[in-house]
Amino acid sequence: MHTANLSRAKGLLGPTHVKTPLSQTRFSANFNARTGARRTTRLGACFMKIHDLVTTTEALAQLCARWAQSPFIAVDTEFMRENTYWPDLCLIQVADEQDAAAIDPKADGLDLKPLLDLLTDNEDVLKVVHAGGQDIEIICNLTGKTPHPMFDTQIAAMALGQGEQVGYSNLVDSWLGIQLDKGARFTDWARRPLDQRQIDYAIGDVTHLAAIFPQMLEKLRKTGRGVWLNDEMERIADPSNYVTDPQTAWKRVKVSSRKPEVLGRLKALAAWREVEARGKNIPRGRIMKDETLADVAMHPPRHQQDLSRVRGLSASWAGNDIGGRLMDAIAAAKPLSAEEMPSRDDRKPGLGKEGALVADLLKLLLKIRARDIDVAPRLLARSDELDMLAAGQKSGLAVLESWRFEQFGRDALDLVEGRLAFAVVNGRLKITRIEDSPEAA
Ligand SMILES: [Zn+2]
């Protein structure tokens, strides 16, 4: 099912599929540099109905039925996560070009199902987000699924010369010429009732997005760069990005030891902490700080009474249940297996001193190419891929496939194989091709 849907998502972005629901006729008239952008906004504002805060399942179901007819919806969420393990979902905002609404997930008796179905089970409606990682994570926590197909405007902006991490207010300013009020950004979204200013602010996060998306899409079509984004958009929809396995939680904890016994205890302790934090729904650091976790892994106490002497733990750990479970975790820990051991060197294998210089040269080439075609370097290639290329690897690298190969990979390969050189021409750094093989020269 996913494969078939993938081609549809690609159809939205690819240059060859103009007869999708998001066709030229629908949007092209509105896209034209800056002045055109402003006109669209005003049009959008005229036609876009802002609904009252949605607090009933019936109202939500009605709106979802309308949104389901739309080729795309813009989605954003507001949540609090300072005091909980799971983010506390406080508001969901949705807009297409006609209807915008904020939905109160905390409203008594409101069932989010119509919306969650629309987000995760309706492949005909593209979900547009901006830097949507945390929004996707919340939906994933609620449903075990991610919204699909997805379009993230922050990622798309990388293909349109707007840098690697353009913020929402900069995006809105650059495409619509509107300066956002950021005043309500850090308010308490969990408080009830929400005041109108909070709701207005939150809805702005999707109404502008719904106005920007068609323009972005049009520009991606015109430049042929939509296809550059297909795999990026699929990647953010991959549920494995949003699920933390307690068994791998130890990898995010720093410890100054490589002993398999220590790392094995760290793994067991990190998994134990994850389970405790989830069970109590409090941030993991409030069960035990990372430093304390590493400390206990390095110097495991023999008896539970010894826990009272561990820095960062209160005296009560010597006798309470959680202290008992901690001791059980230590007792059950096994030395880390050889396969699980982290690699000794941060450097990629095989990358010696010369290789590191080659990698630097590749990074320079990447900078030049990214500048020349006005795209964020990270979209063209990841730096670990360049390290691998410098180390002699020539297969299994995204940079040597499809559009990345055309835009950068071919030159990168030419550089490591001696067919490309740098030169300064009239004060400007240029890439030149070497006609003869360097051996013959
Ligand atoms: Zn927001």
Mean pLDDT of 374-389: 93
pLDDT score, position 184:
66
Q: How far is the CA of 135 from the centre of ligand 1 (A)?
A: 9
pLDDT at 431: 84
Looking at residue 186, what is its pLDDT?
Answer: 76
**pLDDT reported for residue 352:** 84
Predicted local confidence at residue 439, as pLDDT? 55
> Which of 28-37, 195-204, 325-334 is the least confident region?
28-37
pLDDT higher than 70, residue 116: yes
Q: Is the pLDDT of residue 98 over 60?
A: yes
**pLDDT for 4 beyond 70:** no
In the prediction, which pLDDT does 124 show?
A: 96
Determine contact, residues 327/265, Cβ cutoff 8 Å.
Answer: no
Q: List pLDDT tens digits, range 231-262.
A: 899 999 999 999 889 999 999 999 999 999 99
CA of 130 to the centre of ligand 1 (A): 9
* CA 186 – ligand 1 centroid, Å: 10
Higher pLDDT, 31 or 323: 323
CA of 350 to the centre of ligand 1 (A): 45
Task: Please count the other Cβ atoms lying within 10 Å of the Cβ belonging to residue 95.
Answer: 32
pLDDT value of residue 45: 46
**pLDDT confidence of residue 73:** 98
Percentage of the chain beyond pLDDT 70 is: 86
Q: Report pLDDT for 244.
A: 85
Measured in angstroms, how far is the CA atom of residue 78 from the centroid of ligand 1?
A: 5
- 202 C-alpha vs ligand 1 centroid, how far in Å? 5
> For residue 297, how far is its CA from the centre of ligand 1 (angstroms)?
39
Q: Return the HEC string of the chain.
A: CHHHHHHHHHHHHCCCCCCCCCCHHHHHHHCCHHHHHHHHHHHHHHHCEECCCECCHHHHHHHHHHHCCCCEEEEEEEEECCCCCCCEEEEEEEECCCEEEEECCCCCCCCCHHHHHHHHHCCCCEEEECCCHHHHHHHHHHHCCCCCCEEEHHHHHHHCCCCCCCCHHHHHHHHHCCCCCCCCCCCCCCCCCCCHHHHHHHHHHHHHHHHHHHHHHHHHHHHCCHHHHHHHHHHHCCHHHCCCCHHHHHHHCCCCCCCHHHHHHHHHHHHHHHHHHHHHCCCHHHHCCHHHHHHHHHCCCCCHHHHHHCCCCCHHHHCCHHHHHHHHHHHHCCCCCHHHCCCCCCCCCCCCHHHHHHHHHHHHHHHHHHHHHCCCHHHHCCHHHHHHHHCCCCCCCHHHCHHHHHHHHHHHHHHHCCCEEEEEECCEEEEEECCCCCCCC
Is pLDDT of 101 > 90?
yes
Cα 342 to averaged position of ligand 1 atoms, centre (Å): 37
pLDDT at residue number 345: 58
pLDDT at 281: 96
How much is the pLDDT for 47? 76
The answer to whether residues 22 and 149 touch, using CB atoms and an 8 Å cutoff, is no
> Which tokens is 117 given?
């179905």
pLDDT over 70 at 21, yes or no = no
Whole-number pLDDT of residue 437: 53
Residue 11, pLDDT score: 47
Residue 13 pLDDT class (50, 70, 90 cuts): low
Rounded to the nearest whole angstrom, what is the distance from the C-alpha of residue 77 to the centroid of ligand 1? 5
Distance 168 CA to ligand 1 centre (A): 9
Find the 222 Cα to ligand 1 centroid distance in Å.
29
Residues 45/94, Cβ–Cβ less than 8 Å: no
pLDDT at 401 over 60: yes
* Distance of CA 76 from the midpoint of ligand 1 (Å): 5
Asked if residue 107 has pLDDT above 70, the reply is yes
Distance 205 CA to ligand 1 centre (A): 5
* pLDDT on residue 19: 32
What confidence tens digit (pLDDT) does each residue in 310-354 have? 999 999 999 999 999 999 999 999 999 999 998 775 555 567 888
Q: Which domains does the chain have, with CATH numbers?
A: 4-242 (3.30.420.10), 246-332 (1.10.150.80), 352-433 (1.10.150)
* 220 C-alpha to ligand 1 centroid (Å): 25
Whole-model pTM: value is 0.82
How many Å lie between the centroid of ligand 1 and the Cα of residue 148?
Answer: 20
Query: How many other CB atoms are found less than 10 A from the CB of residue 150?
Result: 23
Residue 436: its pLDDT value, please? 59
Instruction: Give the mean pLDDT of 142-150.
Output: 95
For ligand 1, the distance from its centroid to the CA atom of residue 421, given in whole angstroms, is 47
pLDDT digits (tens, 9 = 90+) for 270-305: 999 999 999 999 999 999 999 999 999 999 999 999
Residue type, 361: L
Provide mean pLDDT across the span 211-238. Answer: 94
Question: What is the whole-number distance in angstroms between the Cα of residue 155 and the centre of ligand 1?
Answer: 17
Among 26-30, 134-138, 185-189, 198-202, name the one with the lowest average pLDDT: 26-30
What are the pLDDT digits (tens) for 53-79?
Answer: 999 999 999 999 999 999 999 999 999
Span from the CA of 358 to the centroid of ligand 1 (angstroms): 43
Report how far ligand 1's centroid is from the alpha carbon of 375 (Å): 26
Q: Is the pLDDT of residue 29 over 60?
A: no
Entry field: residues in the chain: 441
**pLDDT tops 90 at residue 31:** no
Band of residue 27 on the pLDDT scale cut at 50, 70, 90: very low
